Amino acid sequence: MSDIREARRVVAIAGRDLRTLRGMVADIDAFPDEAFGFFAQQAIEKALKAWLALAEGRYPLTHDLEDLFGRVQAGGRTVPERFLNLTDMVDFAVQYRYSAFEDEGGLDRELLCGLVADLVAHVEELVRQGGAQQ
């Protein structure tokens, strides 16, 4: 059973995390990749939880993005393929909060922010529609 109120609440929080993420895109010196990645992961996680609240009325208390995407898909819902690589951001939920992210190229902040924005917008639209197109 759908929980539209919870879906609205959680997708609004995802939107707040996305606004924070957008503010961090260009300022690499002030916001290291670990902080940027954390807010990206949080926005993704909350968008998926909103989708699950909308579709099923509940969601697990987990940071595991692969599990969340899997639960969305298990309900017969279609996740646009471009979002599936966002599961790679799961390590920013915990691991990189306590250790350095070491990737020579760093995060492609603009690309990642765009994908996260698209996911949040996708879920916001589902919530606006009341779940009719879940």
Query: 8: Cβ–Cβ under 8 A, 6 or more apart, which residues?
Result: 50, 127
**Of the options 1.20.120.330, 1.20.1440.230, 3.40.50.2000, 3.40.50.1820, the CATH number for the domain spanning 4-128:** 1.20.120.330
- Choose between 119 and 102: higher pLDDT: 119
Residue 20 has which token pair? Answer: 């924070």
Q: What is the pLDDT of residues 104-125, one digit of tens each?
A: 788 999 999 999 999 999 999 9
pLDDT 10s digits, 34-93 = 999 999 999 999 999 999 999 999 999 999 999 999 999 998 899 999 999 999 999 999
Q: Are 84 and 119 in contact (CB under 8 A)?
A: no
pTM: 0.94
* Neighbouring C-alpha atoms within 13 Å toward the C-beta of 96: 22
Q: Where are the domains of the chain?
A: 4-128
What pLDDT is stored for residue 14 in this prediction?
A: 98
